Amino acid sequence: MIRIFILTCLLIGSLNSLFAQTDTAKLKITPLTGDFFVYTTYNTYENSRVPANGMYLVTSKGVVLFDTPWDTTQFQPLLDSIRIRHQQPVVLCFATHWHSDKTAGLEYYRKQGIKTYTTVLTDELSKKNNHKRAEYLMTKDTVFNTGQYTFEAWYPGEGHTADNIIIWFEKEKVLYGGCLIKGATDESLGYLGDANVKEYATTLRNVQKKCRNPRYIIVAHSDWSNLNSLKHSLQMAKKLLKENSQ
């Protein structure tokens, strides 16, 4: 009976994972390259269903999660899907700025025994705005070695928010830009209520200088398959600066 129960649970989990790949699902997981995967959850913004992309990396020491689901109902389904798909637990989680589409799951994941990280500035802004906070804080740009992979959590300057960071895999040339970088077909830089429009263009130039010849650029709320996203975002930031200088 116990064996039947376990097999039934695995079957249900597999079916949930399969259903999660449909367009109307709450969670979608897409292979990126090698051990890199993009996961997408959804929420409602200005009466529209908006996707929120995160990323995870499968290493020999466990799975590293970059940003948390925006949809609070998908915190555990994401963990379950990862374990079923890769037979690995999530061991680390990084949030790239203080908005809830990135930090909403920090407390939940901490309670699951996952080490959660943000910068000190992100923690200050999260506390000020009553958002979820991480257990561990980065006081400076930090290089992490997890299993066979090395990546850097790097602060390029103010842009979408005062605290936005990027994640850069130098060897694999994978740039995780979060909300700082917009999609190549986006018509605006999105929500600017917490943005620094004067510094946005400079910050994106810093990213260009730091992250040479990326093979993949993951953006938060748009299609991430077009490598023109960073260049296009910089063009929009320059235009925005010019408009605000007149």
Of 2 and 64, the one with more pLDDT: 64
pLDDT of residue 120: 98
Amino acid identity of residue 116, one-letter, is T
User: pLDDT over 90 for what percent of the chain?
Assistant: 85
The domains of the chain, with CATH numbers, are: 2-245 (3.60.15.10)
pTM for the whole structure: 0.89
| Separation of alpha carbons 63 and 233, rounded Å | 30
Name the DSSP letter for residue 172.
T
Antiparallel, parallel or unpaired: β 90-94 and 115-119? parallel
| Residue 244 pLDDT exceeds 70 | yes
- What are residue 44's DSSP bridge partners? 49
Q: CA quadruple 185, 188, 190, 196: dihedral positive or negative?
A: positive
In this structure, what token pair is assigned to residue 59? 């290493």
| Separation of alpha carbons 120 and 118, rounded Å | 7
| Residue 13 pLDDT exceeds 50 | no
pLDDT band at 48 (very low <50, low <70, confident <90, very high): confident
| Separation of alpha carbons 25 and 231, rounded Å | 31
Q: Work out the end-to-end distance of the chain between its first and last CA atoms, rounded to an integer number of angstroms.
A: 74
Question: What b/e string do you get for 147-175 counting C-beta neighbours within 10 Å, with b at 16 or more?
Answer: bebebbbbbbbbbbbbbbbbbbbeebebb
pLDDT of residue 113: 98
pLDDT band at 116 (very low <50, low <70, confident <90, very high): very high
pLDDT of residue 11: 36
